[in-house]
Chain A
Amino acid sequence: MSTPAISIRNLTKEFAIPFKKERLVAVRNLSLEVPEGEVYGLLGPNGSGKSTAMKIVLGLVTPTEGTTAIFGCDSRRVESREQVGFLPENPYFYKFLTALETLLFFGKLCDLRGSALKDHAYSLLKTVGLENAADRRLGGFSKGMLQRIGMAQALIQNPRLLVLDEPTAGVDPAGSREIRDLILQFKSQGITVLLCSHLLGQVQEVCDRIGILHHGSLIKEGRIEDLITLENQTQLVLENASPALLAELEKRAREGGATVIGEGRPKADLEQFFLRVTQFNS
């Protein structure tokens, strides 16, 4: 088997609480692996240790116990960050830089330069839909635009792995759908993605596998279908069915040994409705 994009082994992180004896355990004996090419979602309520785990993977925070590695390279080594792009939670960048300058700056930090860097920066701005804001300073950017420049910045050195901390937090539905589409696009290019979120609907649409963190411990892990499919139930959606037909179906079901446990009209979810209405009027 090839080296996993991310491997976390028996990771524990404790924070000292000022003026108190006991310590806060942010991550508790966490072990997980993300194979190359997979989109992995880390779920959990606020304060469950998602961001802390990600920062340890990126070498920004030192673990109390355990090890983490990116493509087999220990996170404590600077080289491990050659292959990874990171979008922090609520990303802030230098407000005095324009979008283009920001990308050039981060590119130079990855030892890129010259016209190749510039061309790449422009193409990334196009990818994230900021080509018209290239020369605007980030000080005037909205939350969604910052999130997008954060994505572009993470991609500047063409990494094989993306680590995204709450990529859609605080972004409007249209914006978060674009971010979701971007993630799907990266996945089709073979980029491994580790993302964390508490917005379950979106995770469901992009992730191959999820893990659920609770108080720092991984309490569930697996493929989404396996986790949430109710194996012994089947859903049937009909259009223009008459009451007589429904009664007939129900009778047949009983004869066949099945129980009808629910009946109703499916509704488009609010997000879909919102998107349809706003797109129609724009």
Chain B
Amino acid sequence: MNPSSPVHSLFSTRRIAALAHNTLLELVRMRVFYFILLFALMVIGSSLFTVNFSFQEQFQVLKDVGLGAISIFSWLLGLLCTALLLPKDLEDRTLYTILAKPVPRFEYLLGKLLGVFLLIGIAVALMSLVFAGVLGLREQQVLAETARSTPPADLAQALASIRASAFQWNLLPGIALIYLKAVLCATFTLLISTFASSSVFTVLVSVVVYLVGHVQGIAREYWLGGGDASPLIKVLVALVALIFPDLQLFNIVDEIAVGTVVPMLLFWKITGFGVLYTLVYMLVAQVVFSTREL
């Protein structure tokens, strides 16, 4: 027998795909997708409660509730699933069996993370479909009613204004940003779990990071904008602002929901920011995990 071992590929997309697929399968078999039903109920419910409003108000409520719920659900899903994965593999010692195969640790992390990204992607897509479906249905109803009650002379304009306030393709960049935000949050959750010892700890810290991420913009403005803060505080605030992601940026989605046209440049800037932070968190997670005692 040839004593020299076969050539080992240092990076195998097949191994990563196997790990990602397995992660997705685990989450699917945990029946996490059932929460989509909850989402559908919320959106349909909010469309039923607003039948007495004007159609502009109806559509606006639907968009606010729909996008808000997609945002919260995708964040929570990413957070909880990620927080579960690593500590569970460690506790159950399934990690030993995996890493005893020729699998580099970064491939393991990457596979887990990609599995969660896929899961969030599928969830966001499904929720968006439900949301667009309910909105489209309401739109058709309102269009039919208006066609019956409006004199023919004004009809074309009335229908056009209804269409303009219903589902618009410019909602898609908003949904893309919601997805990116959930991915970013899942990644720092993974980073936390590489040094945490339990899922509960990971979830708590990750929620704190999420909250700090939302208020850090205000703190930054307050302390760094005014000149009277001590240098120490300024450095501290700057450090916090650098380490924690500025999640306030993603609030642009609220404006997209009310129909504000967001410049493409701003959209790409936020996307670039999100991708950069995600990559950096991944890198740090890998560094921490590669030195961790199992």
Contacts and interface: CB of A to CB of B under 8 A. Distances in A.
B12 A60 contact: no
Contacts of B100: 58, 60, 81, 84-86, 88
Q: Which 7 A-B pairs have the closest CB atoms?
A: A108-B18, A86-B100, A79-B8, A96-B29, A92-B92, A109-B101, A81-B102
Nearest to A139: B29
B93 A90 contact: yes
Interface string A89-106: 011111011000000011
A86 B93 CA distance: 12
Contacts of A108: 14-15, 17-18
Given A82-B102, A92-B93, A105-B18, 19 more contacts: A60-B99, A61-B293, A61-B294, A62-B293, A72-B3, A78-B103, A79-B8, A84-B100, A86-B100, A88-B97, A94-B26, A94-B94, A97-B25, A106-B97, A108-B15, A108-B18, A109-B19, A111-B12, A113-B14
The interface residues of chain B, by DSSP majority, are classed as loop
A40 interface: no
Given A61-B293, A111-B12, A82 B97 contact: no
Nearest to B96: A88
A5 B102 CA distance: 17
Nearest to B89: A94
Interface in B195-220: none
12 contacts: A62-B293, A71-B3, A78-B104, A81-B102, A82-B8, A86-B96, A88-B96, A93-B94, A96-B30, A105-B22, A108-B17, A111-B14
Contacts of B26: 94, 96
Interface in B1-23: 1, 3, 5-6, 8-10, 12, 14-15, 17-19, 22
A94 B25 CA distance: 11
Interface of A: 2-3, 55, 58-62, 71-73, 78-86, 88, 90-94, 96-97, 105-106, 108-111, 113, 150, 153, 157, 160
B89 to A, nearest CB: 9
B127 to A, nearest CB: 24
A57 B293 CA distance: 14
Contacts of A153: 97
Interface residues of B, number: 32
A109 B15 contact: yes
Contacts, number: 90
B98 interface: yes
B9 A111 contact: yes
Nearest to B108: A109
Contacts of A109: 15, 18-19, 98, 101-103
Contacts of B17: 108
B202 to A, nearest CB: 19
Nearest to B27: A96
Given A92-B93, A108-B18, A160-B1, A81 B25 contact: no
Contacts of A58: 99-100
B8 A93 contact: no
Contacts of A3: 3
Interface of B: 1, 3, 5-6, 8-10, 12, 14-15, 17-19, 22, 25-26, 29-30, 92-94, 96-104, 293-294
B274 to A, nearest CB: 31
Contacts of B6: 82
B286 to A, nearest CB: 14
B27 to A, nearest CB: 9
Nearest to A92: B92
A97 B97 CA distance: 14
Contacts of B14: 108, 111, 113
Nearest to B292: A62
A96 B17 CA distance: 18
A82 B5 contact: yes
Centre residue among A59, A97, A106, A108 by max chain B CB count within 10 A: A108
A150 B94 CA distance: 11
Contacts of B98: 106, 109
Given A60-B294, A109-B18, A79 B102 contact: yes
Contacts of B12: 111
Contacts of B8: 78-79, 82
B294 A92 contact: no
B5 A73 contact: yes
B103 A60 contact: no
Contacts of A2: 3
A78 B102 contact: yes
A93 B102 contact: no
Contacts of A90: 93
A123 B8 CA distance: 25
Contacts of B103: 78, 81, 109
A101 to B, nearest CB: 8
Contacts of B294: 55, 60-61
